[in-house]
């Protein structure tokens, strides 16, 4: 079993990097508001991870995946740069 520190190291190496790439693309397209990218990436990764756990643990709730997707999309939409 991984300890907390090893889990965070793996997240930082792989997951956070992917999230930073996503945010970089949004920023390049001028779609991202003025936020700290690393903090946003960390928070969004936590939300994605928890969504995955909830879906796995609650397989008897078929709509949970779609609800999770909608919530995560709303999270990202809330970060968008407004005219």
* Within a domain: 19: yes
* Within a domain: 25: yes
Task: Give 39: exposed, middle or buried? Use CB within 10 Å, 0-12, 13-18, 19+.
Answer: exposed
How far apart CA 64 and CA 54 sit, in angstroms, is 8
Residue 4 host element (H or E): helix 4-10
* Within a domain: 72: yes
Cα separations in angstroms, 79 against 1, 37, 76 = 35, 11, 5
* Within a domain: 16: yes
- Indicate the pTM of the whole model: 0.77
Domain with 29, as residue range(s), is 4-78
* Within a domain: 70: yes
* 75 has a pLDDT exceeding 80: yes
% of the chain surpassing 70 pLDDT: 99
pLDDT band at 72 (very low <50, low <70, confident <90, very high): very high
* Within a domain: 34: yes
* Within a domain: 83: no
Q: Which of 3, 77, 80, 11 is nearest to 49 (CA)?
A: 11
Task: Return the bridge partners of 32, or none.
Answer: 80
Total tally of structural domains belonging to the chain: 1
- The pLDDT assigned to 83 comes to 72
């Amino acid at each position: 079993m991984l300890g907390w520190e090893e889990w965070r190291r793996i997240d930082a190496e792989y997951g956070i990097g992917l999230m930073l790439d996503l945010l970089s693309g949004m920023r390049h397209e001028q779609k991202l508001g003025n936020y700290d990218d690393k903090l946003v990436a960390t928070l969004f990764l936590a939300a994605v991870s928890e969504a995955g756990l909830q879906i796995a643990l609650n397989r008897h709730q078929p709509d949970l995946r779609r609800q999770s997707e909608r919530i995560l999309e709303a999270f990202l939409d809330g970060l968008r740069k407004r005219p």
